[in-house]
């Protein structure tokens, strides 16, 4: 699938994964019998309407939710052993949320450097690295600002910088640009794609935008609600690097149409 | 006059008009200057008092009791608030005690504290802490409970240890609300100290007020009230400074004095 390598190793292996919230008659299946393998460096989108369990699946991979059944491994190490989250398996995993989740008591640079501070890296080193990554994501000159002084798009840049500052192996994105306007969103998606390719990071993106999924991904996992489950896995083989012109091409439109058909078919 | 200079001028003018009316009332009406001294008599009494080193000893005693009681209340309130927010069963178990202790008029306990802790500073510090505890505790409890799950998720992903989570997320999130509790608590701490001095002991501004009353030195009594008000003002302003220093990022800081 990954256009950039021959036989990459499997980074994430999900088998027979189910998650039920609540119990008894009030129980809701958030995801049922999910099976998925994601190879190193791959960009995968989880695409589906709300209620299809895409966010739950992502949160289980992150170790934020405990699965009811099945297993999830990151680079061969199980994320959950019993009810305990494995810090070793999840250490190379980074996550970015729909809201920037920056802390207003820190400056932009301090927010970006927070993962390094928690990991015990000394002040000078983490400041240097924070400035470096701020430049990569287009935040140069904003390092000493408060997050509240930034626009929504700039906040998400800072949030992305914080997610990348530790050089993660796996990057989980929960609709990171969903609350932004279309233009900012397009621009950030292009940058995200470039940053992820350069960092060779395995990326899983949760989205309900068909265009976004088709544009960014090496493969799109289509999910359906009631019961929440994976229905299709579609490979997207447009050559990289991609730019926004790709979205005007007929093959791209066909792919979007195909994905839409799968989504509506799955929802029916 | 510009709105800016009006804002400066009007409160000063209002105070002057009030004091003049007060003075005029005492001099013209049937009220005895003995019961309600005119402002100039209070100023005269005050200017005599401030040169008496014994006064400053009393000020120091009340200030010590107030600040000690306040600090104990803050430490205990934040600590218990954090633990009950963190471990709900602790809150469930403590609930009846919290409700009862909240409902008891704490001032009614003051004589009991004198009995238990003696006539010295200790009993006043305990009364002061008992009064100041609740606003800090209940604000801390709500504040620590209101940490957003999304922010917690960030700290889980970053594998923060409990102490790091506390220092980098929980305490900064809770601080603005805790500081609001502290603003209320610092005034209550002073009331606690004064009430303690009323009841027993032989030092402090509360004791001084009672002894002036017994000597029928009403202008001096008013002087003590003025001093206590000033002390309250200073303590309140200090919390405002603390807010500006600890939570410069928060909207509440712009409204602090």
How confident is residue A1, by pLDDT bands cut at 50, 70 and 90? very low
Assess whether pLDDT exceeds 90 at residue A5: no
**Interface touch A95/B159, C-beta < 8 Å:** no
How confident is residue B256, by pLDDT bands cut at 50, 70 and 90? very low
| pLDDT at res. B200 | 86
Residue A148 is nearest to which of B159, B247, B249, comparing CB atoms? Answer: B249
Mean pLDDT of B200-219: 92
Residue B249 is nearest to which of A95, A105, A117, comparing CB atoms? Answer: A105
| pLDDT at res. B29 | 81
**Interface touch B168/A97, C-beta < 8 Å:** no
Distance CA B74, CA B19 (A): 37
**Interface touch B172/A103, C-beta < 8 Å:** yes
**Interface touch A97/B172, C-beta < 8 Å:** no
The sign of the CA dihedral A46, A49, A51, A52 is: negative
Mutate which: A90, A99, A118, vs B, most B CBs within 10 A: A118
| pLDDT at res. B257 | 41
The closest of B42, B112, B46, B101 to B77, measured between CA atoms, is: B101
Q: Give residue-wise pLDDT tens across range A133-174.
A: 999 899 999 999 999 999 999 999 999 999 999 999 999 999
In angstroms, the separation between the Cα of residue A159 and the nearest Cα of chain B is 10
Mean pLDDT of B4-25: 92
Return mean pLDDT, chain B: 92
Q: Give residue-wise pLDDT tens across range B50-105.
A: 999 999 999 999 999 999 999 999 999 999 999 999 999 999 999 999 999 889 99
The closest of A31, A49, A38, A36 to A209, measured between CA atoms, is: A49
Return mean pLDDT, chain A: 91
| pLDDT at res. A267 | 55
DSSP string, chain A: --TT-SSPPEEEEEEEEEEEES-GGG-EEEEEEEEEEEETT-EEEEE--TTSSHHHHHHHHHTSS--SEEEEEETTEESEETTEE-HHHHTTEEEE-SS----TTS-HHHHHHHHHHHTT--HHHHHHHHHHHHHHTT-TT-TTS-GGGS-HHHHHHHHHHHHHTT--SEEEEESTTTTS-HHHHHHHHHHHHHHHHHHT-EEEEEES-HHHHHHH-SEEEEEETTTTEEEEEEE----SS--GGGGGSHHHHHHHHHHHHHHHHHH-
Mean pLDDT of B30-45: 87
Mutate which: A64, A96, A105, vs B, most B CBs within 10 A: A105
Assess whether pLDDT exceeds 80 at residue B33: no
Mean pLDDT of A57-73: 93
CA B173 to chain centroid: 23
Contact present, A35 and A14 (Cβ < 8 Å): yes
Q: Give residue-wise pLDDT tens across range B171-188.
A: 999 999 999 999 999 999
How confident is residue A23, by pLDDT bands cut at 50, 70 and 90? confident
Chain B residues near residue A117 by CB distance under 8 angstroms = 168
Chain A residues near residue B168 by CB distance under 8 angstroms = 103, 114, 117-118
Chain A residues near residue B169 by CB distance under 8 angstroms = 103
Mutate which: A101, A106, A155, vs B, most B CBs within 10 A: A101
Residues 110-129 of A with CB under 8 A from B: 114-115, 117-118
Chain A residues near residue B159 by CB distance under 8 angstroms = 87, 90-91, 118
Mean pLDDT of B190-214: 93
CB distance from A99 to chain B under 8 Å? yes
| pLDDT at res. B254 | 63
**Interface touch B150/A117, C-beta < 8 Å:** no
Q: Give residue-wise pLDDT tens across range B229-240.
A: 999 999 999 999
Assess whether pLDDT exceeds 70 at residue A3: no
């Amino acid at each position: 699938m990954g256009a950039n390598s021959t036989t990459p190793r499997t980074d994430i292996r999900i088998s027979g994964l189910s998650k039920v919230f609540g119990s008894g008659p009030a129980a809701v299946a958030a995801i049922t019998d999910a099976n998925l393998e994601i190879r190193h460096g791959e960009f995968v989108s989880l695409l589906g309407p709300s209620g299809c369990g895409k966010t739950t699946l992502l949160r289980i991979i992150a170790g934020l939710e405990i699965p009811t059944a099945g297993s999830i491994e990151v680079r061969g190490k199980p994320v959950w052993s019993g009810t305990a989250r494995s810090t070793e398996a999840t250490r190379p995993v980074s996550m970015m949320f729909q809201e920037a989740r920056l802390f207003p008591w820190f400056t932009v640079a301090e927010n970006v450097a927070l993962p390094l501070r928690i990991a015990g890296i000394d002040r000078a080193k983490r400041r240097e690295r924070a400035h470096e990554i701020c430049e990569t994501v287009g935040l140069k000159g904003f390092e000493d600002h408060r997050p509240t002084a930034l626009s929504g798009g700039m906040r998400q840049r800072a949030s992305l910088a914080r997610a990348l500052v530790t050089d993660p192996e796996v990057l989980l994105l929960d609709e990171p640009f969903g609350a932004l306007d279309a233009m900012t969103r397009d621009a950030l998606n292009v940058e995200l794609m470039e940053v992820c390719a350069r960092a060779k990071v395995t990326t899983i993106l949760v989205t309900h935008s068909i265009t976004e999924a088709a544009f960014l991904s090496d493969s799109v996992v289509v999910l359906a609600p009631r019961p929440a489950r994976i229905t299709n896995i579609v490979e997207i083989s447009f050559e990289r690097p991609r730019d926004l012109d790709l979205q005007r091409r007929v093959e791209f439109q066909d792919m979007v149409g195909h994905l839409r058909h799968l989504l509506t078919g799955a929802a029916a | 006059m510009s709105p800016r200079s009006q804002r400066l001028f009007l409160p000063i003018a209002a105070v002057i008009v009030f004091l003049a009316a007060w003075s005029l009332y005492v001099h013209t009406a049937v009220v005895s200057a003995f019961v309600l001294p005119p402002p100039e008599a209070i100023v005269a009494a005050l200017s005599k008092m401030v040169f008496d080193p014994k006064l400053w000893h009393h000020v120091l005693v009340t200030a010590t009791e107030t600040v000690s009681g306040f600090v104990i209340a803050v430490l205990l309130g934040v600590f218990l608030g954090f633990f009950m927010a963190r471990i709900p069963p602790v809150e469930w178990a403590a609930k009846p005690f919290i409700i009862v202790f909240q409902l008891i008029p704490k001032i009614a306990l003051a004589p009991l504290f004198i009995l238990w802790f003696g006539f010295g500073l200790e009993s006043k510090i305990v009364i002061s802490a008992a009064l100041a505890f609740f606003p800090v505790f209940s604000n801390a409890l709500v504040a620590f409970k209101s940490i957003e799950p999304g922010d917690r998720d960030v700290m889980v992903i970053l594998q923060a240890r409990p102490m790091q989570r506390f220092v980098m997320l929980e305490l900064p999130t809770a601080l603005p609300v805790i500081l609001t509790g502290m603003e209320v608590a610092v005034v209550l701490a002073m009331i606690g100290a004064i009430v303690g001095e009323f009841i027993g002991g032989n030092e402090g501004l509360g004791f001084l007020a009672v002894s002036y009353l017994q000597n029928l030195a009403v202008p001096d009594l008013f002087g003590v009230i003025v001093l206590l008000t000033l002390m309250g003002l200073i303590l309140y302003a200090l919390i405002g400074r603390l807010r500006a220093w600890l939570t410069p990022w928060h909207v509440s800081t712009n409204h602090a004095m």
